[in-house]
Amino acid sequence: MKRIQRRTFLKSTLAAATGVVVAPTIIPSSALGLNGAVAPSERIVLGGIGIGGRGRDDLRAMLPEKDVVFVATCDPQKSRREIVKKLVDEHYGNTDCKVYPDLREFLAERTDIDAVLSATGDRWHALAAIWAMRAGKDIYSEKPSSMTIAEGRAVLETAKRYGRVYQTGTQRLSEANHVYAIEMARLGKLGPIHTAYAHIAPWDAAAMRHDWLPGQPEPPKDETSWDHWLGPCPWRPYNPEYTRGGWRGHYDFHTSCIGEWGAHTFAQAQAGLGMLHTCPVRYEYVDNISGDGMVTKFANGQKLILSRGDKHWHGSCGERFDGPEGWIGAADGYLKTEASSPKLLADFNKVVHEYQERTQRAMSHTRNFLDCVKSRQLPVANAEVMHRSMSTVHAANICMWLKRDLTYDPVKEEFVNDVEANRLRSRAMREPFII
């Protein structure tokens, strides 16, 4: 080898150094947060779990947010994975969205993800949330967010232990018409509220099926991983109707007509009663298929009555509050909150504005979640709100299943002197899909 002379070495090094200094460095304005862009350090990296029809509505609300970048989705069904990928790739104009069939692989591999949107079927909501929070992710979970009282408690304890932001998809807590009705009740504008009404779904029944649909040959695992689709539920033979929404009405998969809408409306009613930190202590059985007219009572004597049909509203997913000065309520499809007197509607803008000032919450459920991912504050539908309102759902269901009145202790989270009811506070989970 020829030896390199010191003078030659210094000349080449200087030339290289000079070239580095002189060469222009172009940094995109988006990387600096200029021209309305959000700097990468301020962006929320988002992923998805089990995003179907309802989940895609949530995703469409999140994608336009400038501080969100959606990078990956997970689902045991290939068709659903590909629909989400296509939606995301078209939004960003690239092909970067990654897909995963296995939730464990997804959570283990994607350490870059800050938060996840979960919109699985009911059976997976609690477990997916718990696994995600243990993996260091904040989570927006569609409802009903637990299948049992025990699952709801486990979600709440996981959020506390791991310091994660949790929002359940009770979006009417972030809609002006509902917020106004809730605030008017909470602030005593109707006098002391003695009764609230909460809407339950007008289809299906409180009692659910325990049989299986006829077994059919399983599809290739890459098309649908049946084992992962079932998740924590007891195994049963594959039938494509389950994966097309036919799981509703089956005990292993659903929370009945009470949970279908009550997962929304019980939180709405309990918010106006000031009872988001607890749930009713008394559940009075009604002899019908749905629980329509069931009276539940809180420890202070306030009533929450389950209502089916249009007795108290003309829309869906409604809540109503009755006090000595009149009534007020809201439901989907209302142009504005409705009340017994026009006077009760006069302060709409003022009350909604003061609510936003006091809470610093956006009137958008998904935006409230994203803001809390950054601020680490509690969202409007946080884990305790979910657990307490879903405990009301589960206790009402158990009352209907056992066909007798029940007394519940919200502190101990157990039914009083009722072994059979207490056994229904939890369900077995199929390994390895366990909490």
Shortest CA distance to 108 belongs to which of 83, 72, 70, 79?
72
pLDDT of amino acid 35: 58
Domain finish residue from 171, 193, 219: 171
Q: Is the pTM of this model over 0.95?
A: no
pLDDT of amino acid 38: 83
Q: Are strands 326-332 and 316-323 parallel, antiparallel or unpaired?
A: antiparallel
Is 270 contained in some domain? yes
Q: What secondary structure, in 3-state letters, does 180-237 show?
A: HHHHHHHCCECECCCEEEEECCCCCCCCCECCCCCCCCCCCCCCECHHHHHCCCCCCC
Q: Which two tokens stand for residue 186?
A: 């909470």
Whether residue 178 is found in the same domain as residue 85: no
How many residues comprise the chain? 435
Whether residue 269 is found in the same domain as residue 409: yes
pLDDT of amino acid 41: 85
Which tens digits make up the pLDDT trace of 270-293?
A: 999 999 999 999 999 999 999 999
Give alpha helix (H) positions in 376-434: 383-402, 419-423
Whether residue 270 is found in the same domain as residue 398: yes
pLDDT of amino acid 13: 45
| Residues of the chain predicted below pLDDT 70 | 1-36
Question: Distance between CA atoms of 406 and 417, rounded to whole angstroms?
Answer: 9
In CATH, what number is assigned to the domain containing residue 86? 3.40.50.720
Which tens digits make up the pLDDT trace of 323-348?
A: 999 999 999 999 999 999 999 999 99
Domain count, the chain: 2
Is the separation of the CB atoms in 145 and 263 below 8 Å?
yes
Q: Are strands 68-74 and 44-49 parallel, antiparallel or unpaired?
A: parallel
- Domain of residue 365 covers 172-207+254-423
